[in-house]
Amino acid sequence: MVAAPLSGHLTPLLPLAHALWDSGHEVLLAGGGDAHPLPGADPLPFIDVARSLRVGRLAARSLVAHPVTARAELAGRGGDAGVRSLFGPVNEELTDALVTVAEQWRPDVVVYEPLAVAGALAAARHDVPAVLHENGLLDGFALVRTLLDSRPLQRARLRHGLRGVPPPAIALTIAPSSLVGARDALAVRPGRARGSARSALPAWLSGPSVRPRVLVLRGGGPLRGDLQASAVRALDDLRDDGPDCELVLVRPPARLLRHGRRGVRTVGRVPLDELLPACAAVLHDGSAAHVLAALAAGVPQLALPGPGDRRHNAELVAARGAGLGGPFTADALRRLLHDGELAAAARDVRAEIAAMPPPQARVEVLTALA
């Protein structure tokens, strides 16, 4: 199972990996960089195929070579050009290592996420069926086509004697259809990775709250600054005419811990599926993982438009009516807490996700490819 060497790319694949492992099948995770299981938290074998790859160096090179595209990508408007400029070179460098791993490990099936299309090249090189496993809300087939058409992947393909790369034998999607539309892929319920490091849920989060709780996650992207700090400052400005609520900051930076504020509490590394049911709304940076966690919990959300796929994700949430996409304002907070239509739409998507087949239900269709 192959993921690009960036944070958040491997995690969505882990529920299926565990389902396969629990069914008695051998599984090897391939990633690197920021895409790796937490040390000691996951029993699955892992191989680093990106030891010599420096994503920061490739990103800097892309910025110099394509400054307009890079600026657009930071605003979430990079499109196909933004995908090609970074993930084309990344996958070209991954291909050689993955071809070698496939030659040594001899997999029966290769599962890859859309921005790790090097996995598809390795599968094609060894005539092994490949499975595309979407790990977000973007169209996985479109991402794969974009990357395979890029010059770096054309070079990698020719280097390994491939005239073409077959389409995936099966595609899996974790995206609810009411959010992204119908896709030519088998649905699989998104879930949390087993064995994630965590803290115990504080007692004060286990019971009811006098004021509605608003969960504020870390992030916000390089152009947005620190979302948590912005939320705390905004809450101070909202005292007189804004909603009376309590902010719950997840793993805030030290500077926010030093200054106690009325109506602001903090919590450590607790899984979102345990935190969200205790909250009336959630503010986050627009990442697909945060969007899906909020939808699975049926909690209205505010997703900040930002780099990469974050603007697209925020727009999908707003279009579905299950939350808002935009800056944190008094009016936005008021709507999150009191707009019944937002809450109803969030609950509808929660029911939709709960009805999606679990990863265990897709084990047989994958193993039948071997």
Same structural domain, 261 and 167: no
Q: Counting beta carbons within 10 angstroms of the beta carbon of residue 34, is it exposed (0 to 12), middle (13 to 18) or buried (19 or more)?
A: middle
Same structural domain, 60 and 136: yes
Name the most confidently modeled range: 227-236, 256-265, 303-312, 352-361.
352-361
User: What is the token pair recorded at 139?
Assistant: 């169209």
- Please tell me the predicted confidence (pLDDT) of residue 120: 98
Same structural domain, 128 and 221: no
What is the pTM assigned to this prediction? 0.91
Phi, psi of 241 (to 5 degrees): -120, 0
Q: Is residue 368 part of a domain?
A: no
Q: What is the tens place of the pLDDT at every residue in 179-215? A: 999 999 999 999 877 655 556 788 888 877 888 999 9
User: Predicted confidence band at 223 (pLDDT cuts at 50, 70, 90)?
Assistant: very low
Domain termination site, one of 173, 195, 222? 173
pLDDT of residue 349 exceeding 50:
yes
- Count, residues in the chain: 370
User: Predicted confidence band at 224 (pLDDT cuts at 50, 70, 90)?
Assistant: very low
Q: Is residue 268 part of a domain?
A: yes
Name which of 27, 55, 54 is nearest 43 in CA terms: 27
Same structural domain, 265 and 116: no
Q: Taking a C-beta distance cutoff of 8 angstroms, is the pair 217, 250 a contact?
A: yes
Name which of 342, 333, 335 is nearest 233 in CA terms: 333
For residue 164, what is the domain's CATH number?
3.40.50.2000
- Buried b vs exposed e over 233-254: b needs ≥16 C-beta within 10 Å? ebbeebeeebbebbbbbbebee
- Please tell me the predicted confidence (pLDDT) of residue 74: 77
Query: Taking the CB of residue 311, how many other CB atoms lie within 10 A of it?
Result: 20
pLDDT of residue 336 exceeding 50:
yes
Query: Of 40-54, 77-91, 126-140, which range is least confident?
Result: 40-54
Cα end-to-end span (Å), the chain:
14
Residue with tokens 């990442």: 287
Same structural domain, 215 and 147: no
Q: Is residue 319 part of a domain?
A: yes
Average the pLDDT over 111-115 and give the result.
98
Rounded Cα–Cα distance for residues 104 and 266 (Å): 47
Q: Is residue 187 part of a domain?
A: no
**Domain coverage including residue 122:** 11-173
Query: Of 112-126, 217-231, 281-295, which range is least confident?
Result: 217-231
Query: Taking the CB of residue 320, how many other CB atoms lie within 10 A of it?
Result: 18
The chain-wide mean pLDDT, for the chain, equals 89
